[in-house]
Structure 1
Amino acid sequence: MGPQQPTYTDAQVEAYLSRIAYTPTAKVEDVRQRAQSDALSTLSELQRRHLAAVPWGNSGLHYSQHHTISLHPDSLYEKIVERRLDGYCMESTGIFFIVLRSLGYQVYATGGRVSYAAATEVDNGLYMAMGHMVLIVTIDGAKYMVDVGFGNNCATAPLPFQEGATATCIAPSEMRLIKDSLVECSDTTQKLWIYQTRNNPDSPWVPNFCFSEVEFLPQDFGVMNFSVSQKPTSFFVQNFVCVRMILDPTGREIIGQCIMSGKEVKQRIKGQTEVLQVLQTEEDRVKALAKYFDMHLRNSEVEGIRGLTSQIK
């Protein structure tokens, strides 16, 4: 028998459910019962609510005194639930992973490679090193890919392992999984799952990341997290970004996203983009994080960005 996998207490899960506005007074046992009777629908709602409530971002690398990211379950809980801050893939998906396990889901995590097409918009068929976390949830014998940590192109619902099955991402954009070999691999018989999106039904499919069905362990993500968060050339080290999904009034559909990147805050609703604010100073950005993302930074955290390349000067 191996070491016990981390879970959260019922009180912690209820605080998380409140954080994502799952229901006004959600009780853990009620959600567990829903997960048993209608696992896929409950999983879909949890994913949707999480994406709309927990911003995808890397504030810990820029607005902090330590400029590091911890994947410890208690650190994730304190940052995302208690402080109501953001998290990048291994943080946001990491806490979602533990919550799903705490609710009784059959779930494990694997690692993914982000494509250069997603990072640079140039589709050369190449992928970067392992740097993304993906969850695989099994429901009634069927496997689903679940992701809450891929920014503006994140899957907005569980995707079944059915090659080529197309689903709406954020209308009019679509998403799907295909299975293919990578151009750099010498053994072309080895196929990986590739998550693709397209802006609309007439647009070409763009690969975002690839992954296998091999389970990764916490120590694997520790190595990945160190590289992504500490390598000087890492996008997350050089840039500060923040993305939050937008729900329709009924809470049943993700209709857009709010994006902070560079000196702009933009809102994209059903394919139409509007600039909400141009940021002139660091004070502008800190206030915008509070206004658009409900992220309230401490003075010491705000001071942490001084001197970094990501500081607005």
Structure 2
Amino acid sequence: MEAANFDLDRYCRRIGYRGPLAPDLTTLSALMRHQLFSVPFENLDVRAGKVVSLIPEEIVEKILDHRRGGYCYEVNGLFAMALRALGIHYQFVAARPMFYPVRRPRTHAAIVARLEGRDWLCDLGFGSHGIRAPIALDDLDREIEQDFDRFRLTRLDERGYLLQALVDQEWLNQYAFDLWPQEWIDFTPANYLNSTHPDTIFVQKLLVVLHHPTGRDTLLGDRLKREREGRITTETIEPNRLQSVLRELFQLEAAG
């Protein structure tokens, strides 16, 4: 994944990262967390009736120049550009969301990076219960603590993996994936579906998520949920407050 207008230094300024840059796990983890804490997961373009662009240069322009966020293809696509600039080998994987009451297609894009002889799941675009740091694919069947969240990775079969999150003291399936490599163009049909199909959450409701070191803020429709150190508060956002909430809580300088 590359874009003619991507610059690693500019990317680091956008996410507020000033540390060392090296093709190692320390850098991988630091960049993932800094991006999660500065680039929101958001579907403002879909809510504005647009089909999200998968053109790499337009993703860079949207997130770096216009200080927007995006959903999985955009935020993970941008992260992949940073990995490529660092010389970290990675592949895209297509994941099947597993929290719906009916079986869904593999519409989620995630990344598996290869570092220090191990494969690491990286994902900056799964919204509310997304991972907050890389998870090694051989770190199976145990509770993995990431800040105030808990995750578990297990095998479905000899090829497939299942990611779970501990929510209200219950392990809930998040998504399943295997290591069949995906080319960027392979996500075009799923992106169109997520941008246009009336059954998708992105078409139905506004969804904005920004992670913090001790929790996250989530705006779903007009309902704002703020989580800090396991404590949750909720409130309804009136239409006349929406722009200020997007700007002040989610660091979004434009709304569509």
TM-score of the superposition, structure 2-length normalised?
0.93
Alignment of 1:19-58 (within 5 A): 19-23=14-18, 30-31=20-21, 34-35=22-23, 39-58=24-43
Report the secondary structure of 1:128's partner residue: coil
Alignment of 1:265-284 (within 5 A): 265-275=224-234, 277-281=235-239, 283-284=240-241
Match of 1:196 in 2: 164
1:239 to 198, 205, 209: 205
How far apart, CA to CA, are the structure 1 residues paired with 2:146 and 2:192? 30
For structure 2, list consecutive stretches of 5 or more residues without a partner in the other structure: none
Once the two structures are superposed, what CA deviation does each residue of 1:137-175 show, in whole Å capped at 9, x if it has no partner? 01122101100001110111100012214311341x311
How far apart, CA to CA, are the structure 2 residues paired with 1:241 and 1:158? 24
1:261 aligns with 2:220: yes
1:211 aligns with 2:159: no
Mean Cα displacement is larger for which, 226-235 or 53-62?
226-235
1:74 aligns with 2:57: yes
Report the secondary structure of 2:170's partner residue: coil
* Higher relative contact order, chain-length normalized (CA < 8 Å, sep 6+): 2
Once the two structures are superposed, what CA deviation does each residue of 1:112-146 show, in whole Å capped at 9, x if it has no partner? 0001x2x4xx6xxx541111011010112210110
Q: Aligned-pair distance for 1:191?
A: 4.3
The list of structure 1 runs, each at least 4 consecutive aligned residues, that deviate by more than 4 angstroms after superposition, is none
Q: Aligned-pair distance for 1:227?
A: 1.3
Q: Given that residues 167 and 175 in structure 1 are in contact (C-alpha distance below 8 angstroms), is that contact kept between their aligned partners in structure 2?
A: yes
Match of 1:130 in 2: 106
Match of 2:254 in 1: 297
1:168 to 129, 145, 155: 145
Q: Given that residues 144 and 161 in structure 1 are in contact (C-alpha distance below 8 angstroms), is that contact kept between their aligned partners in structure 2?
A: yes
Once the two structures are superposed, what CA deviation does each residue of 1:1-29 show, in whole Å capped at 9, x if it has no partner? xxxx52556x7211110010011xx6xxx
**1:112 partner amino acid:** A
Q: Given that residues 152 and 165 in structure 2 are in contact (C-alpha distance below 8 angstroms), is that contact kept between their aligned partners in structure 1?
A: yes
**2:200 partner amino acid:** S
TM-score of the superposition, structure 1-length normalised?
0.77
Report the secondary structure of 2:214's partner residue: strand
For structure 1, list consecutive stretches of 5 or more residues without a partner in the other structure: 182-189, 247-253, 302-313
How far apart, CA to CA, are the structure 2 residues paired with 1:259 and 1:199? 15
Q: Given that residues 7 and 102 in structure 1 are in contact (C-alpha distance below 8 angstroms), is that contact kept between their aligned partners in structure 2?
A: no
Q: Aligned-pair distance for 1:260?
A: 1.0
Report the secondary structure of 1:290's partner residue: helix
Instruction: Give the number of equivalent residue pairs.
Output: 255
Match of 1:311 in 2: none
1:146 aligns with 2:122: yes
Match of 2:72 in 1: 89
* Identity rate, percent: 24
Q: Which one has a bigger Cα radius of gyration?
A: 1
